[in-house]
Structure 1
């Protein structure tokens, strides 16, 4: 059976003159069901696309995320240190990235218009930064718009635990504006934990983002080196202090083959 894809706005978030829309594409059969016959219908899984509305400001997208744009928007490469500046900045940064082993660029857009990302089956989580920093799980960043700098955070927690000199590099968003992250978990299933001088310990990679004011460490599980059934390594992630944590407790339920929606 053939389908046609129809888009609706699943959710939106705006602040000042910037806005993010999540478009959801659902499949509709092109043929009507036969009258008097029971027909089982397996619809393809839904797809999602992010629309980033820019009005005289700056938007930053993960490299390769752009599908198309409308409006007067100038493209420039943005390095992990937050610098840019067109082709010259791109080439200078490429040399630096090659020398240091740092990951390549995000893509910046300046002006007025709308950017559309490549459709994905992952869910898109929208949020707002208000003069703060957010450390994001590697691979989760999609886009941000407003006065936000996309940098890099070297997480030494696990490296210190196992005696390695190399830390895990993660995106770090700093400033004021809107951001979008991607995850197999729907936004409704996330818990945004407001911590006030507390301690949170998580067994498994369930945290997609946390604010920079929290102290992050990796600690040995009380169950012993080989006793952790979820991490498989006998370690837990610990967050201490005051801030916010985006936690997805249902992530293990979304593992497995691609689902079909009815």
Structure 2
């Protein structure tokens, strides 16, 4: 069976793990166009137009994780198939927490309270998706990241996948949840993005500055930053007049990645 329909677009090696992103195109028949009928119409009548269904190219993406003695954590439900000599187990995101606190964290982040851990030698293919993938690496605790809800996809098992709890209860009304997935450690990882990488904007936050971001477009940010989830303005009347809900107010030193085009076309 040929695999030529898949094209390798990006690869990121780790320690005993390599993560690859593939892309392929399929035609979807969702659009239509009305064309005038070629058949003669009766006297005084207008020929009914013919509706032609037009094929639309859909770009799909798929992740392959190659294991050569290392391990990887994958979002539950992402597996399509795996090959090789692999050990698979379910891993808690916060090993010291109980099942109730993990359920609360899962509800707060939109992510599962668990991840699927693969290790050994072989390869893991994930389900195709029309969303985009971002491959990256972190070199230690100083690179720790907080992710948007449902952004985590997979990482090398040398990275700790945790749940960060915001100090402000207002976070649960922000659209991003009271809790967010946190990546910490050293290794390679992949996150799922609603927009391509060239439409992601990186903001370098400097001490003394404040960055205000709508939660809908916040993809991830440095865990070293001080973040508050609160109304843009004080007072219920002013909140109503501003037309804005809760926003992220970010201070400190670090980086923020946003997706300004995510709501276009909605």
Larger radius of gyration: 2
**Partner residue, 1:26:** 25
User: C-alpha offsets along residues 75-130 of structure 1, whole Å, 9 cap, x if unaligned?
Assistant: 011102147xxxxxxxxx8xx32466343311111112221111111111112111
Q: TM-score, normalised by structure 1?
A: 0.76
Query: Shift in Å at residue 203 of structure 1?
Result: 2.8
Give 5+ residue unaligned stretches, structure 2: 29-51, 107-112
1:143 aligns with 2:145: no
**Map 1:90-169 → 2, pairs under 5 A:** 96-98=98-100, 101-102=103-104, 103=106, 104-132=113-141, 133-159=144-170, 168-169=178-179
What 5-or-longer segments of structure 1 have no aligned partner? Answer: 30-38, 84-92, 257-262
Partners of 1:73 and 1:126 in 2: CA distance:
23
Q: Tell me: CA distance 1:118–1:243, structure 2 relative to 1, closer, same or farther (3 Å).
A: same
The two structures have a TM-score, normalised by structure 2, of 0.75
- Residue 28 of structure 1 deviates from its aligned partner by 6.8
Counting matched residue pairs gives 225
Shift, 1:16, TM fit? 4.6
Alignment of 1:1-262 (within 5 A): 6-27=5-26, 42-82=55-95, 96-98=98-100, 101-102=103-104, 103=106, 104-132=113-141, 133-159=144-170, 168-197=178-207, 198-222=209-233, 224-229=238-243, 232-233=244-245, 235-253=246-264, 255-256=265-266
The verdict on how the C-alpha distance between 1:67 and 1:228 changes in structure 2, with shifts beyond 3 A counting, is: farther
| Displacement of 1:46 | 1.3
Assess if the C-alpha contact under 8 Å between 2:213 and 2:248 holds in 1.
yes
**SS in structure 2 at match of 1:151:** strand
Structure 2: how far apart are the matches of 1:16 and 1:75? Answer: 18
State the secondary structure of the residue aligned to 1:45: strand
- Distance (Å, rounded) in 2 between the aligned partners of 1:121 and 1:169: 26
